[in-house]
Structures are given as C-alpha cells and as structure tokens.
C-alpha cells in the first residue's frame, strides 16, 4: 500500500525532524513523571487537595483527599502519577499550540475554514488509525502515547478559544481601537481576558479528552492507568481492569471539577 | 480656527465600491444604487468643517450616515473616497502607527452602549486610554480619579461596571474620554440610552465641563431637542448626504428644505428662543442720581402711560423697579428726600439675556409686572411682559401651522 511506503520513506528521511518533535515532549513527560513519582505521596496529595480547595471548596477538597488515598490503597499510585504526568504534558502542549491557533482562527475567516476540517478529522478519526504511524515514527512508549493524546485532545481548546474570542462584544474591540490600542493590545487587554471563561471550558474539555486516551495509549505501550486495564482485559483478570478503570474515573472527576471551578471563577 | 475639515467624504459598504461611486456621479441616489448593486451608500459627498472649541452636533434619523461619518473621523471605518483633515494633518492618509498614535493623544470617544470593559474596575476603565499610552500606574490612577471626580463618581473607583446604573456607566465612559485630555471628543449618541431625566442632567454637565475646557466636541444625535440644547452648530444628514449646516437659530429660521423643516415640527420653541430675542426696552428707565430722585421719578411716570419704571445707575446697571403707587406712598410718608432705593418694589429679580423662554416662564407667569432683563454684566436691556411672551408663542404656532398647511398642500400636489 502506498501509505505504508510513504510512512517508510518519512521514517527513513526525516528521522531528525521527528526526533526534534519528540525531544521536548520526552523531556517534559519524563520530568513530570519522575517528579510526581519521586515525590512523597503525601506531598502530592496535599498539593492537589489545596488546589481543589482553592478553586472549588472544601467539598471537593475532601473528595480529592479520599480518592487519592483510595488509589494509593489500591496499589495504583505509581500508575496514577504516570497518567497524571502524561495528561499534564499532553495538555501543556495542546495549550501551547492550541491557544495561538485558536486566536489565529478567530482573526481570520479563511484560516478558520482551512482549520475546521483538520480539527474534524482529528476528533473523529479512530485513534487506532494514527496510532500506527505514530509508533512507526516515534517508537512505542509513553511519548507515543502523549503524542497520540495531543492529536486527539487539541481540537476542543482550539475551537473554544476561537469561539471565545469571536464572541467578545465588537463594541468593546471598537472602543479599545478608538482609544489607540494596537492589535496586540486589543488581543491581550480586551479579547483574551473576556474570552477566558470560554477558553477555560476548552481546557476542561481537552483534559477530559486526554484522559479518555489513557487506555488507548496503553495499547501502544504507554504506562499509566491504561496499563492495568489492558493487561486485565488481555488476561481476563476483570478485577485488575476494573481497578485501573476506577483510578481513571476518580482522576477524571477531580480534574474535571477543578478546571470547571477555574472557569466559573473567571466569570 | 478650523479644527476638523471633512472634504468630499464617501463611504460605500459592499464589494465594488468604485462602481457605486460612478453611479453616484451619474446622479443615482442611495435607494436606486441599492436596488441595482445591493451595495449600501453610507455617506455621500459630505463636506463641512468644525471649529475649534465648538460643540458640533451631527443630526439625522437612523440610516442617515451620522454614525458612519463620525467613525471616519478617527478611521474606525475607512472612507471609500475623500479626506479628513485634523489640525492640518490628513487622517485618511495616515499609516497604522501614526493612526494609533493619533488616537492615543488627540481624540477620544464616548459610545451609546457605554462600551466599558466589564473585567476592569471603574478607575481602570477610566484610565484605559492612559494605560494604552503606557502612562505609569500611579500617574494614570491619579488622572483617572480626577476625571471620575469631574463626573462625580470618584467614590465608585474600585467598583465594577456591572454594579453601576446606566447613567453612572455612561459617566464613567465620559470620564474615560476626558482622562486622556483630548483636543477632540467624539460622542456617538452618548446620551441616547439614558432615561430623559438623566439625559438632561448629562447634557448640562457636558456644557458645564465645556465651559471649563473648551474642547472640540462632535456629538451625534437623533434627538432634536438635544441638538438644540447643546449644539453650537448643527449638521443635518439624510440618506448619507449633509443637508444643512448652521447654528440652531439659523436652521430654525431658514430651513433649507422640507426634510429639515419636518425635523423641527415637534420642537418646543421655548427652549430655543431666549429672553434676549424677545426683550423690548419699552418702559421708562430712571437713572439714579444723588438726590431727589423719587419726586422726579414720580413726575416721569405720571407723564407716561406706564405704571412701572426701572431704575439704573450711570453705567445702566440694573438697580430696581418702582411703581407710581409705590412712589406716591413713599413721598406721602415723608421719605421723598431718601434715596430712591427705599421705594423699590421687593423681590424684583431680573432674568438674563441668555435664559431661554422656558427658563423665564416661571418669573413671567408669576409676576404682575414685566420682568426686567439684564446681560452678563448686569446691564439693563429691557423687559419681557406677559403679553410679549404669549404673543411670541402664538406667532410661532401660527408660523408653524401655516408651514404645515403649505407642506401638506405641496405634498398633495405632487402626489
């Protein structure tokens, strides 16, 4: 098939490019992974609970504390930290690339219409379809998992940044220009601050999508909570799979609530 | 001194503005161009100039082009053709940096929808223009608070726009415009979204602020009463064209066509005509000398067919009013060698030449004597009697009724 020939050709000739893409992701990922795993669990729990408390309230703080202790008791701590590292790395790169792309799409109708079908493809194509090329280009492991996650999870933040900025009242943009704002000042002082609630909603969705890739990432050798799920399914050890699944769900709930509260407060 | 000059300004909204320009040259109007090409003529060959320090009101109904034309003064909208020259500089030819700089320092704008940044506090909103100009934090807070004080809102500096009423929000908008201390203030229907009571207050405040600072103000409005209250000169627009430019009195007395005339049909003349327009020096004036004035005054009054006389000093400053009755009483009670002040009728307060008929109505209505009129130096100019007041009203009514009849007759003919 010509697709596999094309991929072969890419691998052979552009190894350097792909290594260059791989490097920052690898560094971030490994840094976070080792950091989270090396740190004493109590410290991590305390930090996350404080975050929950600050953004949401005592209710979520308690739920977070209980969930994380429970995860530890189930023996899922190391995997959870790896998953957290993977999610945070993917989301970081999603934002670094996604928010500027969203801003560009908000400013140019043409760019928007070019970008839209690409985003549609990224969101609807079954992950398996791009998992294989990714593995071929970047080899198995956590990094490939993060890359696949980035592809899948980036569209929400792009779309919602685009939407948020387009929805800022035109009169406010006009007023800023009337007082002598440059394009940059309009963006930074008016559009982005006012689009923040929508952008944070995009962040929330991106995090959720990233978490949903956890199990699929495990298929290509990524670690984290997906790993027990896959192993459990392969060996018909349902208990193991369920335990992994519970871990994923608990982390999802905590991260969802925290980021949702961040968005609410901005309003 | 001409501050802003608009030369042959055009704005066409659409894909092929040149085509519409050609059609305009051939004599088509807004409606036929829209039919033929689907494009909208926003402004059609506008030319006028605005003097430094005046309040220039641009008036018209919706769709007349007034909002478009004011946005071409600071190029929020780019003209299709023509030039805008401010202080000798061609705004239409400015490059982006120059334009940004121009807007930072020379002009500011107040909007109908207030357009306050909801995520910034009141004082930060007022300081917005200064922040964009990179004025340092303390200095700009200081100037913003000064501006807020000018509109009476300094106590609300750290509140947020969402906590303020409409009138207060618009005052913040005004403070924002004033904080940058611009030469030129553009106000786009700035008071149209306020309720009538607040609107009149804001108009008065604007005029008061203008007395202090003499900025050039371009004020867009669709409200004739507003234009007449605050405008030094008025430009009337219709369908993108400038139909007439002049002072309120000019336009009232010499409307250039039926459209302008129709504008004034609902207008209350007592707001436009002032005491100075109807004052008449028809009553005896008595100059107060050092002695014996009472007897002399009595003589003069008896000789005339009037009951009231107005006493002035050597420079014709107004001092008071006497009546034949009052004088007679004073003389009979032995005060004839006292100064004439002793015979003055109490509570005779003169009105000013600039006061409108509306302003002097209470005085004229409640006094049984003709109300004296003085200028700003208290120099006596004459009186306004009840009769005079009523006759002026009647004449205006008759005049307007005659015009309305004539207009109807003409419309019937052309139908």
> Is A88 in contact with A39 (CB distance < 8 Å)?
no
Q: How confident is the model at residue B399 (pLDDT cuts 50, 70, 90)?
A: low
Please name the member of B100, B113, B119 whose beta carbon is closest to the beta carbon of A180. Answer: B100
* A67 assigned to some structural domain: no
Provide the percentage of residues in chain A whose pLDDT is more than 90: 33
* A64 assigned to some structural domain: no
C-alpha closest to that of B200 among B225, B235, B173: B225
Identify the residue with better confidence: B51 or B299.
B51
For B72, name the nearest residue in chain A, comparing CA atoms only. Answer: A178
Provide the percentage of residues in chain B whose pLDDT is more than 70: 96
Q: What is the DSSP string of B174-237?
A: HHHHHHT--SEEEEESTTTTS-HHHHHHHHHHHHHHHHHH--EEEEEES-HHHHHHH-SEEEEE
Count Cα atoms within 13 angstroms, Cβ side, for A75.
5
State the pLDDT at residue B306.
85
Distance from CA of B98 to the nearest CA of A (A): 10
Q: Which two tokens stand for residue B16?
A: 């092929």
Summarize pLDDT for A116-127 with one digit per residue, the tens. Answer: 999 998 888 888
State the pLDDT at residue B31.
82
- Structural class in CATH, domain B2-106+182-267: alpha beta
Q: Which two tokens stand for residue A49?
A: 């609970």
Identify the residue with better confidence: A22 or A250.
A250
Give the distance between the most distant pair of CA atoms in chain A: 67
What φ, ψ does residue B189 adopt, rounded to 5°? 45, 45
> Is B276 in contact with B354 (CB distance < 8 Å)?
yes
Between CA B27 and CA A116 the distance in angstroms is 46
Task: Write down the H helix ranges in B254-292.
Answer: 258-263, 275-278
Whether residue B253 is predicted with pLDDT greater than 80 in this model: the reply is no
Between CA A73 and CA A224 the distance in angstroms is 16
Q: How confident is the model at residue A34 (pLDDT cuts 50, 70, 90)?
A: confident
What φ, ψ does residue B368 adopt, rounded to 5°? -95, 0
CB A177 to CB B108 under 8 A? no
Q: Which two tokens stand for residue B241?
A: 């064209």
Q: Could you tell me which residues are beta bridge partners of residue B384?
A: B371
Q: What is the mean pLDDT of residues B238-264?
A: 83
Give pTM, 2 decimals.
0.73
Q: What is the mean pLDDT of residues B118-144?
A: 93
Summarize pLDDT for B136-190 with one digit per residue, the tens. Answer: 999 999 999 999 998 889 899 999 999 999 889 999 999 999 999 999 999 999 9
Q: How confident is the model at residue B298 (pLDDT cuts 50, 70, 90)?
A: confident
Q: What is the mean pLDDT of residues A36-43?
A: 79
Sheet order of strands, B89-90 included: B40-51, B2-13, B81-86, B89-90
Total domain count for chain A? Answer: 1
* A46 assigned to some structural domain: no
Whether residue B291 is predicted with pLDDT greater than 60 in this model: the reply is no
Q: Could you tell me which residues are beta bridge partners of residue B51?
A: B2
State the pLDDT at residue B396.
63
State the pLDDT at residue B266.
67
Identify the residue with better confidence: A145 or A116.
A116
Residue B257: DSSP 8-state:
S
> Where in chain B is CATH 3.10.580.10?
276-389
Q: How confident is the model at residue A202 (pLDDT cuts 50, 70, 90)?
A: very high
For B173, name the nearest residue in chain A, comparing CA atoms only. Answer: A175
> Where in chain B is CATH 3.40.50.300?
2-106+182-267
Residues in B touching A192 (Cβ below 8 Å)? none
C-alpha closest to that of B39 among B18, B57, B56: B18
Residues in A touching B107 (Cβ below 8 Å)? 178
CB A177 to CB B76 under 8 A? yes
Cα A252 to chain centroid distance, Å, stands at 12
Which residues have C-beta within 8 Å of that of residue A117, sequence separation ≥ 6?
A: none
> Is B149 in contact with A204 (CB distance < 8 Å)?
no
Whether residue B292 is predicted with pLDDT greater than 60 in this model: the reply is no
The CATH number of whichever domain residue A251 belongs to comes to 1.10.3720.10
Q: Are strands B81-86 and B351-352 parallel, antiparallel or unpaired?
A: unpaired
Between CA B175 and CA B198 the distance in angstroms is 16
Whether residue A61 is predicted with pLDDT greater than 90 in this model: the reply is no
Q: Which two tokens stand for residue B12?
A: 């066409």
State the pLDDT at residue B172.
94
Between CA A209 and CA A87 the distance in angstroms is 9
User: A188 — contact with chain B (CB < 8 Å)?
Assistant: no
Residues in A touching B109 (Cβ below 8 Å)? 175, 178-179
Q: Which one is the CATH code of B276-389: 3.20.20.100, 3.10.580.10, 3.40.33.10, 3.40.640.10?
A: 3.10.580.10
Residues written for chain B: 415
For B76, name the nearest residue in chain A, comparing CA atoms only. Answer: A178
Between CA B104 and CA B129 the distance in angstroms is 7
CB A176 to CB B118 under 8 A? no
Between CA B207 and CA B230 the distance in angstroms is 7
User: A182 — contact with chain B (CB < 8 Å)?
Assistant: yes
Q: Is B49 exposed, middle or buried (0-12, 13-18, 19+ CB in 10 A)?
A: middle
Identify the residue with better confidence: B251 or A155.
A155
Distances (CA, A) of B252 to A52, B256, B320, B352: 69, 10, 35, 22
State the pLDDT at residue B138.
93
Interface probe for B, chosen from A176, A178, A181, A195 (most Cβ of B below 10 Å), is A178
Residue B344: DSSP 8-state:
P
When mean pLDDT is compared across A97-106, B330-339, B391-400, the lowest value belongs to B391-400
Mean pLDDT of chain A: 86
Which secondary structure element, helix H or strand E, spans residue B98, and what is its range?
A: helix B96-105
Residue A221: DSSP 8-state:
T
Q: Which two tokens stand for residue B2?
A: 């001409």
When mean pLDDT is compared across A188-192, B79-83, B278-282, the lowest value belongs to B278-282
Q: How confident is the model at residue B55 (pLDDT cuts 50, 70, 90)?
A: very high
Whether residue B415 is predicted with pLDDT greater than 70 in this model: the reply is no
State the pLDDT at residue B414.
66
Q: What is the mean pLDDT of residues B57-79?
A: 90
**Residue recorded with tokens 């002049």:** B246
Distance from CA of A174 to the nearest CA of B (A): 7
Q: How confident is the model at residue A80 (pLDDT cuts 50, 70, 90)?
A: confident
Identify the residue with better confidence: A175 or B226.
A175
Vertex B367 angle, CA B361 and B368, to 5° = 130
Q: How confident is the model at residue B290 (pLDDT cuts 50, 70, 90)?
A: low
Distance from CA of A267 to the nearest CA of B (A): 9
Please name the member of A174, A181, A194 whose beta carbon is closest to the beta carbon of B132. Answer: A181
State the pLDDT at residue B373.
93
Whether residue B209 is predicted with pLDDT greater than 90 in this model: the reply is no
Whether residue B309 is predicted with pLDDT greater than 70 in this model: the reply is yes
C-alpha closest to that of B124 among B86, B158, B162, B97: B158
Provide the percentage of residues in chain B whose pLDDT is more than 90: 40
State the pLDDT at residue B99.
92
Whether residue A20 is predicted with pLDDT greater than 80 in this model: the reply is no
- The residue range of the domain holding A247 is 11-38+76-266
CB A180 to CB B119 under 8 A? no
Q: Are strands B318-323 and B308-312 parallel, antiparallel or unpaired?
A: antiparallel
């Amino acid at each position: 098939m010509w697709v596999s020939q094309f991929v072969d050709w890419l691998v052979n000739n552009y190894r350097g490019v792909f290594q260059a893409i791989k490097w920052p992701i690898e560094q971030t990922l490994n840094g976070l992974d080792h950091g989270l795993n090396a740190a004493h669990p109590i410290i991590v729990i305390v930090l996350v609970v404080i975050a929950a408390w600050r953004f949401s309230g005592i209710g979520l703080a308690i739920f977070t504390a209980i969930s994380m202790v429970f995860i530890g008791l189930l023996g899922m701590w190391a995997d959870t930290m790896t998953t957290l590292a993977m999610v945070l790395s993917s989301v970081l790169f999603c934002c670094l690339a996604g928010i500027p792309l969203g801003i560009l799409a908000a400013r140019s109708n043409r760019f928007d219409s070019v970008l839209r079908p690409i985003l549609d493809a990224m969101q609807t194509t079954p992950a398996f379809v791009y998992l294989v090329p990714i593995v071929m280009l970047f080899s198995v492991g956590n990094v490939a998992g993060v890359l696949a996650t980035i592809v899948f999870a980036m569209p929400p933040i792009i779309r919602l940044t685009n939407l948020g900025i387009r929805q800022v009242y035109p009169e406010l943009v006009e007023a800023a220009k009337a007082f002598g704002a440059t394009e940059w000042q309009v963006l930074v002082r008016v559009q982005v601050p006012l689009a923040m609630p929508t952008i944070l909603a995009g962040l929330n969705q991106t995090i959720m999508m990233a978490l949903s890739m956890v199990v699929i990432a495990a298929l290509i050798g990524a670690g984290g909570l997906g790993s027990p799920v896959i192993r459990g399914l392969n060996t018909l050890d349902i208990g193991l799979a369920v335990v992994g699944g519970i871990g994923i769900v608990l982390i999802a709930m905590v991260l969802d609530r925290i980021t949702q509260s961040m968005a609410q407060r901005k309003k | 001194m001409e501050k802003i000059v608009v030369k042959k300004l055009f704005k066409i909204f659409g894909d092929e503005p040149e085509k519409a320009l050609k059609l305009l040259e051939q004599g088509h109007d807004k409606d036929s161009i829209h039919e033929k090409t689907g494009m909208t003529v926003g402004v059609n060959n506008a030319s006028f100039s605005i003097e430094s320090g005046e309040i220039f009101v641009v008036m018209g109904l919706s769709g007349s082009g007034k909002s478009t034309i004011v946005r071409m003064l600071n190029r929020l909208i780019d003209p299709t053709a023509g030039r805008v020259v401010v202080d000798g500089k061609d705004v239409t030819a400015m490059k982006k940096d120059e334009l940004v700089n121009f807007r930072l320092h020379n002009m500011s704008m107040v909007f109908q929808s207030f357009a306050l940044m909801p995520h910034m506090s009141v004082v930060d909103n007022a300081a917005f223009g200064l922040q964009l100009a990179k004025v340092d934090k303390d200095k700009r807070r200081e100037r913003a608070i000064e501006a807020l004080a000018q509109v009476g809102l300094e106590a609300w500096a750290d509140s947020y726009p969402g906590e303020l009423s409409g009138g207060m929000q618009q005052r913040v908008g005004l403070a924002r415009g004033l904080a940058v201390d611009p030469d030129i203030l553009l106000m786009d229907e700035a008071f149209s979204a306020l309720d009538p009571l607040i609107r009149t207050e804001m108009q008065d405040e604007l005029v008061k602020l203008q007395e202090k600072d003499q900025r050039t103000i371009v004020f867009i409005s669709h409200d004739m009463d507003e234009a007449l209250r605050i405008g030094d000169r008025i430009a009337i627009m219709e369908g993108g064209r400038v139909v007439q430019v002049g002072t309120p009195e000019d336009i009232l007395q010499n409307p250039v066509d039926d459209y302008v005339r129709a504008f004034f049909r609902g207008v209350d003349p007592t707001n436009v005509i002032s005491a100075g327009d109807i004052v008449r020096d028809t009553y005896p004036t008595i100059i107060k000398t050092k002695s014996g004035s009472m007897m002399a005054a009595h003589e003069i009054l008896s000789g005339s067919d009037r009951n009231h006389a107005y006493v002035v000093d050597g420079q014709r400053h107004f001092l008071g009013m006497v009546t034949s009755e009052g004088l007679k009483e004073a003389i009979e009670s032995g005060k004839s060698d006292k100064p004439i002040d002793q015979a003055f009728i109490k509570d005779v307060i003169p009105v000013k030449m600039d006061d409108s008929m509306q302003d002097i109505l209470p005085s004229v209505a409640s006094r049984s004597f003709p109300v004296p009129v003085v200028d700003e130096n208290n120099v006596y100019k004459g009186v306004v009697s009840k009769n005079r007041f009523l006759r002026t009203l009647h004449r205006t009514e008759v005049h307007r009724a005659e015009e309305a009849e004539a207009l109807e007759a003409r419309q019937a003919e052309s139908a």
